[in-house]
Structure formats: C-alpha cells, structure tokens
Chains A and B, each alone.
Chain A
C-alpha cells in the first residue's frame, strides 16, 4: 500500500495570502489528523477529520480550517497568512479512527511565509 502523501512538499507564500494543503491517507484509512511543527512550539495538533466530520480541534485561530472528502482525502486551509505560520505541516491517518490505531504520518508540507 502507498503511504500517506502530502502535496505540495514545499510552498512559499507572502503575508496576507491564503494557502491550501492536501493530504491523501493510506487507502482504507478514514481518519486524518493535521499537526503543525515548528522549532519553537514543537508539534501541535490542529484538527482531526473522520468520515468527513471534524471530530477534534486544537487551539488554533479560525484562520486555520480543514475539510475531508468522501474518499478520505483531506485539505487544510490557512487564510491571511502570518510570518508565524511558517512551519512543517504534517498529516497522519489511521484505519478506523480508534484510539488504539497507529497513526501513519506523511512527509509533510514545508510552508514558508515571507
């Protein structure tokens, strides 16, 4: 099976713009979680989608949003970009979205905001 894929791998944007990142989970996986990784804040949970519904949300402003499609692929959107949004954005998928499941991570999208 193919692993979790994320596109694009690298992205450069300027302040005020918006950006959309995509995550394709492992085939058959129904849960997708998003994390932001920065040197200063570490790995922080953004949100999780299961069967097209947001099931959990971290402490991020409303500029960060996401959605999940019927094929389990997920997108996250960041509007009105700020310099502090520069980070590695990781997504992870699990089979049934159960707490016993192993999370499989993608390679990440490196976002740079200028």
Chain B
C-alpha cells in the first residue's frame, strides 16, 4: 500500500521569507501523480501544485515550486516570498495513474504553516 509521510507537523516562516515543507512517500509504482493541497482555516481544500512522476522537470506555480526526487521518493514544497494568506495546513498527496484510481488519493498527515508578520 502507498504511504505518504510529512515529518513536520508545524512550520513557521516570516512574511516575505522562503519556507520548504517536506514530504516522502512509499510506492512500488513507477507512474503516479503527486500533489500539494492547502487547507485554510475555513476548511476548503484547494490544489496548490501537482507533479507527474514521469516528468523530470519540477513543477512551478508562481511562488510555489516543488523539488521532486523520484529515486529518493521525496516531494518537497517551496513557498517563496511567503504571504499572510499562505497560512494554512498543507497536505501532500499521492495518486496512482489509471482510471480506476482516479478518485483515490492518499494523503499525508499535514503540516500547519504559520506566517509571522
């Protein structure tokens, strides 16, 4: 079974600084997707960034970027120029490729990010 581990229950960052959230996963599959989701205190979970395992290039979305190390099964999220609105719980998630797995994601336990003004 696939597992996703986020070893940092809590992280804090100063506004405008950079922070990196860690995620490792375990799978025997070679083709899969990895995601970072953000869940603000209002509880609506939204997608921050996604990475296809077959792509070597790291995904980037504005201030958010990932460091995907497939061999090490590591998938960290870097937030640059942190803003107060980035404060939330961040979840790392894994999804196998294939139609029958489309709706099933495996999540880590989450990292609560605090942004200090």
**Chain A interface (Cβ < 8 Å from any Cβ of B):** 3, 31-33, 35, 42-45, 48-50, 55-56, 58, 88, 90, 92, 94, 97-108
A31 to B108, CA, bound (A): 22
For the complex formed, measure the closest distance between the CB of B92 and the CB atoms of chain A, giving whole angstroms: 11
Q: Which 5 interchain pairs have the tightest Cβ spacing?
A: A48-B103, A33-B103, A105-B45, A43-B107, A99-B102
| Cβ contact of B99, chosen from A33, A45, A88, A97, cutoff 8 A | A97
| Cβ contact of B102, chosen from A42, A48, A106, cutoff 8 A | A48
Sample (27) of A-B pairs whose CB atoms are under 8 Å apart: A33-B103, A33-B104, A42-B107, A42-B108, A43-B91, A43-B107, A44-B107, A45-B104, A49-B103, A50-B102, A50-B103, A56-B100, A56-B104, A92-B103, A97-B103, A98-B99, A99-B96, A102-B50, A103-B47, A103-B103, A105-B37, A105-B44, A105-B45, A105-B46, A107-B42, A108-B43, A108-B44
Given contacts A42-B109, A50-B103, contact A99 B44 (CB under 8 A): no
Determine the chain B residues whose CB is within 8 A of the CB of A88 once the complex forms: 43
**Chain B interface (Cβ < 8 Å from any Cβ of A):** 33, 37, 42-47, 50, 91, 95-110
Whether B101 pairs with A56 at a CB distance below 8 angstroms is yes
Question: Of all chain B residues, which has the CB nearest A9?
Answer: B43
Given contacts A43-B91, A102-B47, A102-B50, contact A97 B108 (CB under 8 A): no
Determine the chain A residues whose CB is within 8 A of the CB of B97 once the complex forms: 99
A110 to B62, CA, bound (A): 33
Whether B43 pairs with A55 at a CB distance below 8 angstroms is no
Besides the contacts A31-B103, A42-B107, what 20 more A-B pairs have beta carbons closer than 8 Å? A3-B44, A33-B104, A33-B105, A35-B107, A43-B107, A43-B110, A45-B105, A45-B106, A56-B100, A56-B101, A56-B104, A98-B99, A99-B33, A99-B96, A99-B99, A103-B47, A103-B105, A105-B44, A106-B44, A107-B44
